[in-house]
Structures are given as structure tokens and as C-alpha cells.
Chains A and B, each alone.
Chain A
Amino acid sequence: MGRYIVRRLAQAVGTLLLVMFVLHLLTTVAIQLNGTPAQAFFGDRVASPAQIASVERRFNLDDPCFDQPGNPCLGPFVERLGQYARGDLGTNLRGREVTDIVAAAAPNTLRLFSVVLVTWLALGMLLGSAAARWRGSPGDHGIRLSSVLIDAFPVFVLLVVYRYVVAVPLNRWSEQTFGENSWPPYWFKPSFDPSHPWATIVVPGILLGLAGSAAFIRLVRASQLESYQGDHVRTARSKGLGERHVILHHVVRNSSVPVVTAIGLAFVEGLGGAVITEGIMNIYGIGGVLWQAVQDDDVALVIAVVTLLTVVTVLVMIIVDIVYALLDPRIRYE
């Protein structure tokens, strides 16, 4: 098991370096073809060559390789690696430390993600298990039909409809019913409120989780159905064990391996969903920061945030792999 973890960690470091290098190459080519992003620093003002040069120096864009298309610019890359290794993620164009930006934005994204994950697991496990347990029943057909319906509505459609059609009347109604200072009006606030970060993030999180849970429900159902067919379930029943024990220890437990894998994949998918959700619901989170950075040509910030997201993703994947091995002994001993 220890060896397995070490091997996965080594692979993770490799993946991380590769992603960073590809990211570096892409931005380098973009700079080489489009000219220096230092101009973005000045917005609409026309900057003198001396001013541009000083900005380029500040953001490590002064290396002559940025003017030679095709040059991979290894020097600045190694320099950035060293800088990141010391925990210095640099600053954005406005001179604000990237670490400060992330520290402010990440908690909201984490809040969003925890709501999404809970929604996901609750809906997926409950509805998927119920559909598998009573296969072919009207309930099963209903669950499958609604999961396809949810799939037909992309998350941004759900969010836009919610924000512009549902949220305002609900918000007004709950203000009248429960009073302005009670919790319900905050739940249905059409945009994020930093003074009530949890209350205003619940509904967007549930909607994002709902969108992702559709495929998850079907996956849980399929993998549990496979377990129900398994000979080992028949063996468990032949021991006279109660049906609840059989389902918990032989069906749900055995189908947990594909489910955990799916959770890892959904996390990655959720990062994409978070950018959209944070944008539509005005949540100040990592997705929003990244979106703004791309619009502002803020190369340093884009690279830093994407690198952080890669680190998180790779870590989640390692955790998934470890849990996977814990759940299935046949993998552990390979």
C-alpha cells in the first residue's frame, strides 16, 4: 500500500510539471504572436517604451526569448518554478499578491463545492440505490426519466432561469412571510452576499449539484444493478442475512468503487461548472477570479491560478486512487 501511494505521488509530480510546462508554452506562444501583455497594465492609456519596459521587468516578461516565435523560453519557466517552490505566486497586474487573492476567493469556491458534493452524493446515492433496488418499477422509470431531463438542461440554463425567473419572487415572498432579517430571504437572494456566504451559496450549489447528479444517479444505479446480479449477493442471502445487511455490505459496498472514481471525475467537471456558477451568481470565487484574469490578459494570475487548480485536481485524483485501493483489495495487492 505504501509503495502504491509513493508511486502515485511520483506520477502526480510528473503530471503537475507537465501541465505547468504546457501552460507555459501556450502563454509563451501567445505572447510571441500577439506582443507583450505589459500593455494591458495601462488599459487605454498610451504608455511610453520606458514604462512598458519597466512593467515587463516587473512581471518577468523582459526576456528576449518572448520576441522570438518558436523559442520555448525555458529560462523564465525555470525561474517561475523556483519562485513557486518558495511559495511566491507573484502578483497580478495591479500589484496584488496572488496568494491574497486566492485566500479571499478560495473559501467561497470551497463552500460552493461542499454544497455541490453533498447534493451530488445525497441525490445520486439515494435515487440511484432506490432505482436499482426497485428496478423496473414506476419509481425506477421516474428517476431515470428525470435524470435525462436534468441532463437536457445545462447548468447555465438552470442558473439563469433560477436567477431571473424564480429567485426574485421567492425572495420577496420569503421576506414577507418570514421577515427581512430571517434566513429564508438570504437563501433565495439572486446574487451572492459576502456577509452571508453560506446562506447565499446554498441554492446555486444545489443547482450545480443537481446538474451533475443526473449522470451520477444512472452510474450508481448501473453499478448497483451489477452487484445485485452477483453470485456473492446470493451467497449472502443464503446465509440468512437480512435484506438491509445484504444491500449495505454486499451491494452498496461492492458498487462503491466505480462511484468513488466518478466522484473524482465530477470534481474536475465541477471546476468548469464553478466558473459558470460563480459568474452568473456573482460569487467571488476562484472561477470568477480566473475568468476575470483571462479577460484582463493577466498572464501571471492565470498561470498561478491554473497551477493551483492543477495541484488540487491532482491531489483529488491521488485521494481517489487511494480510496479506490482501500475499497478494492484486488487493486491494493497488485
Chain B
Amino acid sequence: MSAVTNPGTRQASDAGAGGPLLEVTDLAVEFRTPDGVVRAVDGLSYRVEAGRTLAIVGESGSGKSVSSLAVLGLLPDTARVTRGSVRLAGTDLLTLSRKAHRARCGDQVAMVFQDALAALNPVHTVGYQLTEALRARQGLSRGDARRRAVELLDLVKVPNAKARVKEYPHQFSGGMRQRVMIASALAMDPDVLIADEPTTALDVTVQAQVLRLLAEIQAERQMGLVLITHDLGVVAGVADDVTVMYAGRAVEQAPVAPTYTTPAHPYTRALLRSIPSASGTGRLPVIPGRPPSPAAMPSGCPFHPRCDAVRDICRTEVPPLATPAEGRTSACHFAEDIMAGHDPAPDAAAADAPAPNDGPNNGGGDHE
């Protein structure tokens, strides 16, 4: 690990091999809105180890981006962390002062943002932005900074790096710009990299290239990588573990392979079904309805109004994050049934109802 030369990461190496680099526990984030306080993230926990990739998957509004902004202390003024801890190499970032928290960003944990055109500053050269932190924080000289900028662009395979460091973000194509974004996050050799939908704004072919690049760099540097995405399809080839989020909570957490073969939550199952396949014929199954607004959460399980295996208990009781099998967690009352590949036994009372989620007592309240 080349990062040991960096004094800021000393604790990371002390934590020892195998221990989690980043451990988020029971994180909850609330937003003040004109409609009152809404909870965007509710009790999220995850851990990332060196050299491993965790994918956080969810629809927009599921809290996946907000939780990573909380890790970096970049939440907007209207948001606040109400409970939980974010331990980075053993230190709880949330107990630090804002300044001390900020000081760990960049060199211990760095972030790649979604829309590189907006996330890069249009009025500074790419070279300046790549090494800005090195110059301001580590006092790198101008010449060294330029050399380092060229190295970084080479690292992310931007051709003709020497000339391109003098150019501005708008002179780069979308894919190249995203590479610049990645290079800028790598500038201080972070232990953990959080990539927030790094490929969403890109063409499909470019998406694959950028993902492959991220995976290569991650493997080479033995970084912990958190890959945030709404596309379960991109996860399979890159990630080791998956956390599926729905309405601010983790609904399923497991290694990638078993998640794909035997999902333990109806939401994951529905997401997997809605990935288009090349051989697929006929209609692509979609998940009916929309994710609930955090201001108007349904009773019971937040997913029940859209669930195709809903039972009475789902409408009244919030399922805890349970462990239906070794290494698997799922927030579903019927996780074992779903894993086994069949729907849970019908409710005794509603056995003769035509369809499980079509009954008149659909407890979704104000949801369609």
C-alpha cells in the first residue's frame, strides 16, 4: 500500500489487515423542509475493508448519496446527522470538529461525484484542480505539482496528459472528464474512495471503461471502494458486497454472488428482474409505483405498497434487519421464503382474496 508514506493515513495501517477501513453504524440523517423534518437515511450500517468494493444500490431518493455526503461532512445546511457513527480507521468522524473532519477528507476518504462537468470548476485548469489540495495542504511546489498532475492523468489513462493538464474541463469529453474527476479524488492517495454514480452521465460503452478503470485502480492500490449506483446491472462485475437501500434503509446486505442467485428481499428480486437481458423477450418487468416520499412514509414495511409478496404483517410492522442465512441480512418478514425462491404462505384471512396486493385494505394510505 503506497499510502503508508502519507502521514495522514498512519492510523489506517495501524488498524491492521482485514479490519474495516470505513465502518458506518446506525447512521440517520434528517432534513429540515418546509413540510417538516424528514428522515432521508434511517439506521444505515455498512463496512468497507481494504481492497474490497461495496456497492450501494438504490433508486434516487433512497438515501444512498446523502449517506456518503454525511461520511465526508458535506451535508447541506438543512441536513443533520441525528445518530450513528462513521468510523474511519478507528476514529469516529462525526465526533470531530468540522475542521478536523474536513482535514481527513481527500487524504483518507475521497469522493468521485456524479456529474463531472458540474463537479469540476470551469474556471481552473484541470492540472490546477488535480493538485490543488496537494499544493494547498502539503505545500507541493509548482513544478512538482505539474509533474504529479501529469502522473495522475496518466494513471486514469487520459491520452496526451502532458498537454491536457493545461486545458479546462469543458474541453474534455464526458468520459475523459469523469476520469479527471477520478484522478482528482486519487490525488492524495486516499484509503477509501466513495464513487457516487460515477458512470450515470456517460454512454454505455464509456461506462464500462470507467468502471473497469476504477476497479483496476482499486485493486492495485488496495483501496476500499464504495460504489453508489442505481443500476444493479453494473454491480455484478465490479463489487464484492452489495447493500440495497430503499427509503433510507438498507433492505438487504450480502456478498454479490448469492444476492444475484438468491435475493433475500422482494425489492432486490424485483430490481434483478428489471435488468434488461440480451436474450430477453417480451415485456421487461418493472416495479409498480414509486418510492415513498420521506415526508409520507407508509406504515409497516416501507416497501409494502409496491411489494408483490405483501402480507398483512407487512402493513403494520417494520421488519428488522435480520440474518436469514450466514453472511446475509434482509429487512423482510419473509426473507427465508424469498431466498428459497417462493412467495410466503398466504394470510389465513385473506386467502380467498384475488391478489395479495390488490385488496381493499391495502395499507399504503396516501400511496398509489
Contact = CB atoms under 8 A, between A and B. Distances in A.
B74 A240 contact: no
Interface string A217-244: 0000000000000111011111111110
B132 A249 contact: yes
A245 interface: yes
Interface centre among A231, A239, A249, A328 (most CB of B within 10 A): A239
B106 A254 contact: no
A329 B105 contact: no
A237 B103 CA distance: 10
Interface in B141-198: 168, 170-171, 181, 184-185, 187-188
A253 B107 contact: no
Interface string B122-154: 111000000011001100000000000000000
Nearest to A238: B111
Given A240-B188, A241-B136, A253 B105 contact: no
B113 A239 contact: no
Most buried by A among B107, B122, B123, B168: B123
Contact of A240 (B107, B118, B119, B168): B107
B120 interface: yes
A232 B184 contact: no
B314 interface: no
B128 to A, nearest CB: 9
A12 interface: no
A329 B122 contact: yes
B41 interface: no
Contacts of B187: 239
B105 A231 contact: no
B121 interface: yes
A3 interface: no
B184 A235 contact: yes
Given A232-B122, A235-B119, A249-B124, A241 B168 contact: no
B245 interface: no
Nearest to B108: A240
Contacts, number: 83
Interface in B62-109: 72, 74, 99, 102-107
A80 interface: no
B120 A254 contact: no
Contacts of A232: 118-122
Contacts of A249: 124, 132
B123 A254 contact: yes
A257 to B, nearest CB: 8
Given A234-B74, A234-B113, A328 B123 contact: yes
A137 B187 CA distance: 36
Given A238-B105, A240-B102, A231 B113 contact: yes
B121 A242 contact: no
A232 B117 CA distance: 9
A250 interface: yes
Contacts of A245: 136
B115 interface: yes
B184 A240 contact: no
Given A234-B74, A245-B136, A239 B115 contact: no
Contact of A239 (B124, B170, B184): B184
B133 A239 contact: yes
A242 B103 CA distance: 8
A237 B107 CA distance: 12
A330 interface: yes
A164 interface: no
A328 B121 CA distance: 11
A148 B188 CA distance: 46
Contacts of B110: 238-239
Contacts of A327: 123
A126 to B, nearest CB: 22
Of A238, A241, A243, most buried by chain B (CB within 10 Å of CB) is: A238
B105 A239 contact: yes
Nearest to A328: B123
Contacts of A243: 102
Nearest to B181: A235
Contacts of B136: 241-242, 245
Contacts of A231: 113, 115, 118-119
B74 A330 contact: no
Contacts of A238: 72, 74, 105-106, 110-111, 113, 185
A242 B99 CA distance: 8
A296 B119 CA distance: 61
Given A235-B119, A237-B74, A253-B123, A242 B170 contact: no
A333 B122 CA distance: 13
Contacts of B137: 240-241
Given A240-B188, A241-B136, A234 B123 contact: no
B130 to A, nearest CB: 10
Contacts of A240: 102-107, 133, 137, 188
Contacts of B121: 232, 235-236, 250, 254
A82 to B, nearest CB: 45
The 4 closest A-B pairs by CB, nearest first: A240-B106, A231-B118, A239-B133, A240-B105
29 contacts: A231-B113, A232-B119, A232-B120, A235-B121, A235-B181, A235-B184, A237-B74, A238-B72, A238-B105, A238-B111, A239-B106, A239-B132, A239-B184, A239-B188, A240-B102, A240-B105, A240-B106, A241-B133, A241-B136, A241-B137, A242-B136, A253-B123, A253-B124, A254-B121, A254-B122, A257-B123, A328-B123, A329-B168, A329-B170
Interface of B: 72, 74, 99, 102-107, 110-111, 113, 115, 118-124, 132-133, 136-137, 168, 170-171, 181, 184-185, 187-188
Given A232-B120, A241-B137, 5 more contacts: A237-B102, A238-B106, A240-B105, A240-B106, A327-B123
Interface of A: 230-232, 234-243, 245, 249-250, 253-254, 257, 327-330, 333
